Structure 1
Amino acid sequence: MLKNVSRALLREGRKVYKHKLHSKPNFTKNNYDVVRGNYNYVEEEHLNYFRSLLGESRIFTDLSDLEKYNVDWNRYLRGASQIVLKPKTTEEVSKILTFCNHHRLAVSPQGGHTGMVGGATPVFDEVIISTELMNEIISLDEKAGILTCLAGCVLQNLDEYLAERNLIFPLDLGAKGSCQIGGNVSTNAGGLRVLKYGNLHGNVLGLEAVQANGVVLDFLTCHKKDNTGYHLKHLFIGSEGTLGVVTKVAVQCKLRPKSLHVAFLGLQSFDKVLQTFYKAKQDMDEILTAFEVIDAPSMDLVTSKLELESPIGDYPFYVLIETTGSNEEHDEEKVNQFLESCLKKHHILNGTVTGEISKARGIWQLREKIPEAFKYDGYVFMYDISLPLDHYYKLVDDMREYMGDKSHRVYGFGHIGDGNIHLQISVKEFSPEMKSFIEPYIFHQTKKYNGSISAEHGMGFLKAKYLHMMKTPETINLMKNVKQMMDPNGILNPYKVLV
């Protein structure tokens, strides 16, 4: 019988990082082959308008204040924006966009700025519109479980608010402490529990967005069923701020589970990972919330760079399984029967399981902290890919062989429950030659295995030029036509998605 976690997993709170963050990155325009669009530059007359609209306290022009908005979360990309605007209302967003559209000023909508493909980071000197002050919860229908809020609400704050009312937000991310719901919707974020709750396309009931010309589009319905015409809200879910700025969102939330169990398992091979996943689906489908896989290099990264440790020792692969349900006794019995069966069938070598929330959080840290460790591993080329499960880890092996001694770490982890793997390649430092060596080879291999080159992070800036590999010319032309119709001056998040 597997026992609850008994040894300390984490030294929560106090983290002593021995590695320094990257120094300030070079400007994106210098590292990448990109040409500034035909936009005007911000002049004093423009600043005067923004001051009259927002006041001095909600406009930032000092270079020291601008760095966190110009530099992406991974500190790989760096824009040259000279101004950040912080509206509080939809009306202010509308006036800003009306003005920018009239004066041909490019804008970069920005939420929590935690994306991985540069979708919210300016490339040149775009006007940054930050939604971080748009953080009000508008309403909650507790009986129906429908939450309506402004786009700048932080995901973790929303979930904590819902927890007090016995509800749970249907999205969970490692960056939940800083990412914002508007950005989550704009990228159609997937996260850790898509297996149970699905992605945002299925959970967003309605939204409000502002077009490039300042027109406010109200799709803020709270009905699960509303078939009155085209479902236009879906244009904005996953469009990464290129068609409009999302300002309000209505989301379907679920009742908070009464029981929770988290298992952390060690396995010999990826074939064993797949066998364990299929077994979990057979035995626990109705309570299975998440099924995450971590390979040995990923675990080595997070344990060596951050002050974390594996509770079960070293194995070629690790699996993190979470179940949630309404009956503690029933769920615990199912989980233990599943784990005992996996041991007997030699699917797994070792493992630990807990129903204690604090220990479950400790196990989750091993998975959620991996992206944080990237910052201490040189330059990391990050790839967010969907693949058929039979080829899920094959691409990691391919890239490890292809890179040879050109990289010091090639590793993969992710949401096997929805076929999404995060494949990372660590090198000493960025160079255009190294990027050209990796891309588009990795994307050709992805296509060869009938995968998608972007599973949940979007195309952003870093993948935009490879859109043609995933979409037909007819589909791309339709996307361009929609963009032209909704943003004829191309001011919304240029250099992203469509290039």
Structure 2
Amino acid sequence: MSLYCRNFSNLIAKRCFASSSKIPDLTKDRYPIQRGQYAELSDKDYAQFESILDKNRVLTGSDTQGHNIDWLRSVRGYSNVVLKPKTTEEVSEILKYCNSRKLAVCPQGGNTGLVGGSVPVFDEVVISLNSMNKIEYIDEYSGIVTCQAGAILENLESKVQEKGLCVPLDLGAKGSCHIGGNVSTNAGGLRLIRYGNLHGSVTGVEAVTATGQIMNLMSNFKKDNTGYHLKHLFIGSEGSLGIITRLSIQCPTASKAVNVSFLGLNSYDDVMNTFLMAKKELGEILSSVEMIDEVSLNCSNKVFNGQSPIDVFPFYMLIETSGSNQAHDEEKLNEFLRKAMESSLVIDGVTTNEPGKMRNIWLMRERIADSLINIEGYCFKYDISLPLTHFYEIVPATKERVGDLASFVCGYGHIGDSNLHLNVACKNFNQEIYKAIEPFVFEYTSKLKGSISAEHGIGFHKTKYLKYSKTPEAIAFMKQIKELMDPNGILNPYKVLPL
């Protein structure tokens, strides 16, 4: 086991569209779906929006195109207006009006979602939170941070780091995703094994309902046990019950000692046993455990001109530790690595605590998602939770299922919390491969008692497959909640719940 000493390119992975410049088909043409009974925009509506916002915050025409297409280029709406409020009160006025007119709306953050939840399906009014990006207050004593929903995750991380804190969420899309969008989808991220999901970290939210009512559910305390925890209705509801405009979140103290190891392994069984050993040997300092298969890493390095610091292996693991005593943590990490290699679980690997080198290792993992949609032209992406004993089996099963229809099939993800990202790459979207994959992937997941959505949400793509993870009774109750909170169904229609 040697210290990592290679330099990667200075290229920083950016969220970008697929290499193909082709604009995707309209969602209504690609998928069998009918427009709901919503009103259509009139000149009076535009005039009303301009009376609520400055005229330059009401986008029309070609300025709306980027807001109509998702990052994957898998869906496309045809909204004619994008509204950019700066305050919760402006969001309230917009929703009051849209509800009175029965105009459907689509809340939108950084538009980095992977399930078609953040763009219109038809001609919904887009409410972009890009301008609601203030970081209002950081309490370094309690670690509670208050901000608007449009704050970019990376900017929020930079601000809290100045106070010796860290955001309990880290994503490859952190340079463009919004913290409000993260909360609305209950994003998981790279360090869920250490910090848990956002339901546990968010102490309060401010949200606007479909009728324009402002729900102030903010709290600056982890312990606030007063009545129903209504904030949880909005966390993970993907803008279908209300639009989150502000939030408060618990940010833990940043670790003083961080180490990263990148390991090569010969089989998935070795990956699983190495993870078990890591939990036992590293315990409280274990902050992230990622698994990457050979195809995924090859794509990342090919597209971004990277180079692996170790030889080629069928599987790789990225293990991070975070603590307060570098000598103590290094001793534990070295002992773990010694045992893993003596047991022939790990064949080769590198480890480092130098910030630049750790970042380069993380880049190999973080830029996989970008590389997969750029290397071929289209990529079907599935975000599922599976029992660890069967975690990787779906990858070869899917590969056998699609055969020559796909360019390749690969898998990577957060083995630390049982979350696999399954990817099927092809030249272009086509119905033959689509029908071969769906509902096969969700049926396979359901048979293993897994979840069809680990952290990306349901969005537009998975509504008809919700039944594979939730009972009819649960879905019916969700619909009752939706009808109560959004009687006209204007909030992010065609998303989350089956029609």
Q: TM-score range by the shorter chain?
A: over 0.9
Whole-angstrom CA distance in 2 between matches of 1:12 and 1:342: 33
* Counterpart residue number, 2:345: 347
* Counterpart residue number, 1:209: 207
Whole-angstrom CA distance in 2 between matches of 1:378 and 1:349: 34
Whole-angstrom CA distance in 2 between matches of 1:434 and 1:402: 10
Aligned-pair identity in percent equals 51
Q: Which residues in structure 2 correspond to 1:14-33 (within 5 Å)?
A: 20-33=19-32
CA contact under 8 A between 1:9 and 1:311: conserved in structure 2?
no
* Counterpart residue number, 1:460: 459
Whole-angstrom CA distance in 2 between matches of 1:493 and 1:204: 22
Shift of 1:13: 4.9
* Counterpart residue number, 1:54: 53
Q: Which residues in structure 2 correspond to 1:270-419 (within 5 Å)?
A: 270-376=268-374, 377-419=376-418
* Counterpart residue number, 2:264: 266
Alignment CA distance shift 1:342-1:10 (3 Å)? farther
Whole-angstrom CA distance in 1 between matches of 2:103 and 2:12: 43
**SS of structure 2 residue aligned to 1:208:** strand
State the AA in 1 paired with 2:171: L
* Counterpart residue number, 1:420: 419
Gaps in structure 2 of 5+ consecutive residues: none
Shift of 1:52: 1.1
State the AA in 2 paired with 1:193: R
**SS of structure 2 residue aligned to 1:347:** coil
Gaps in structure 1 of 5+ consecutive residues: none
State the AA in 2 paired with 1:457: H
Q: For each residue in 1:295-346, what CA deviation from the matched residue of structure 2 results, as whole angstroms up to 9, or x when unmatched?
A: 0111111122221111102110000011110001111111111111111110
Shift of 1:280: 0.4
Q: Given the alignment of the two structures, is residue 480 of structure 1 paired with residue 479 of structure 2, yes or no?
A: yes
* Counterpart residue number, 2:161: 163
CA contact under 8 A between 1:22 and 1:375: conserved in structure 2?
no
Whole-angstrom CA distance in 1 between matches of 2:432 and 2:93: 43
Task: Select which of 103, 114, 119 maps to 1:105.
Answer: 103
Whole-angstrom CA distance in 1 between matches of 2:372 and 2:66: 18
Shift of 1:22: 3.6
Shift of 1:437: 1.6
* Counterpart residue number, 1:81: 79
Alignment CA distance shift 1:169-1:13 (3 Å)? closer
Shift of 1:379: 1.5
Q: For each residue in 1:258-305, what CA deviation from the matched residue of structure 2 results, as whole angstroms up to 9, or x when unmatched?
A: 011000010000000011100100000110000000001111111222
Alignment CA distance shift 1:434-1:38 (3 Å)? same
* Counterpart residue number, 1:147: 145
CA contact under 8 A between 2:290 and 2:413: conserved in structure 1?
yes
Whole-angstrom CA distance in 2 between matches of 1:3 and 1:432: 48
Whole-angstrom CA distance in 2 between matches of 1:20 and 1:464: 28
**SS of structure 1 residue aligned to 2:2:** coil
Q: How many residues align?
A: 495
In the TM superposition, structure 1's runs of 4+ consecutive aligned residues that sit over 2 Å from their partners are: 9-15, 19-22
Alignment CA distance shift 1:233-1:48 (3 Å)? same
Whole-angstrom CA distance in 1 between matches of 2:162 and 2:137: 14
Q: Which residues in structure 2 correspond to 1:63-142 (within 5 Å)?
A: 63=62, 65-142=63-140
* Counterpart residue number, 2:6: 7
TM-score normalised per structure 1: 0.97
State the AA in 2 paired with 1:494: P
CA contact under 8 A between 2:207 and 2:214: conserved in structure 1?
yes
**Root mean square deviation, CA, Å:** 1.3
Q: Which shifted more, 121-130 or 464-473? A: 464-473
State the AA in 1 paired with 2:231: K
